[in-house]
């Protein structure tokens, strides 16, 4: 798990980019908990996804690409890296099915 960037143009360290050990698969997205809005532009040659988890983060990335980006909410900004890494581990976990 490689942390690529932590930056935030609004002045905090709330954007965490992580390179997973393997590319994201569509079914990996199901393991992210608390998703309120899930957008997957599946018709694109490189399907973009955007998962919004209120109170925690916005997760974006591209299916078949190992890089994902977490934009962590202001309210939990002090735990930005921890929350991002925890979710990234879930994302990259082996499927149990």
Partner 1 sequence: MSVPIQFDAERAVVLSGGRSLVFHCHFYNCALQRAIEEGMGERAPKVLTEGAARAIHAQLTGLGDAIEDIPAFAEAAFRELGFGLLDLSGVGARGGAAKVQASHYAMGWTAVHGPRETPACFFPAGFIQGAVAVAHGLPLESVTVEERGCYAAGAEDCVFDVRVSEGEVAR
Partner 2 sequence: MSVDERAIVEAVGGLPLVGNEEGLIPAFGLYLTRHYADYYNHVSYACLHAAHQEGPEAVAKARAALIEAGHVCAFNTFGGIMLSQEWEAVVGPMLSGRDDWVPGIVSVINALGWGRWRLEGLTPGEELRVRVDNSYESTGYLETHGTSKVGSVCFLATGGVAGIMNLIYHGDILARPALTPDYYAELFAGTGRFVAEEVACRAAGAERCEVVARRA
- Contact residues toward partner 1 (CB under 8 A) are 9-11, 74
Least distance to partner 2 from the beta carbon of 24, Å?
11
Which structure tokens are listed for 3? 């942390």
Is residue 41 within 8 Å of residue 32, measured between CB atoms? no
Nearest distance from C-beta of residue 69 to partner 2, angstroms? 6
Selection from partner 1, partner 2, none that 31 binds (CB < 5 to 8 A by kind) is none
**31 or 48: whose CB is closer to partner 2?**
48
DSSP state of 9: T
Instruction: List residues binding partner 2 (CB under 8 A).
Output: 9-10, 15, 37, 39, 41, 44-48, 50, 52, 54-55, 58, 60-62, 67, 69, 71, 73-75
Query: 79-82 long-range contacts, Cβ below 8 Å, gap at least 24?
Result: 80/6, 80/12, 80/13, 80/14, 80/16, 81/3, 81/6, 81/13, 81/16
């Amino acid at each position: 798990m490689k942390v690529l960037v932590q930056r935030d143009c609004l002045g905090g360290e709330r954007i965490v980019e992580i390179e997973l050990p393997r590319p994201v698969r569509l079914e990996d997205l199901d393991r992210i908990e608390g998703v309120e809005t899930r957008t997957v532009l599946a018709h694109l040659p490189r399907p973009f996804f955007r998962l919004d988890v209120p109170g925690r983060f916005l997760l974006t990335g591209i299916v078949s690409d190992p890089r994902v980006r977490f934009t962590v909410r202001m309210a939990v900004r002090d735990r930005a890296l921890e929350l991002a890494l925890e979710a990234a581990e879930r994302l990259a976990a082996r499927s149990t099915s």
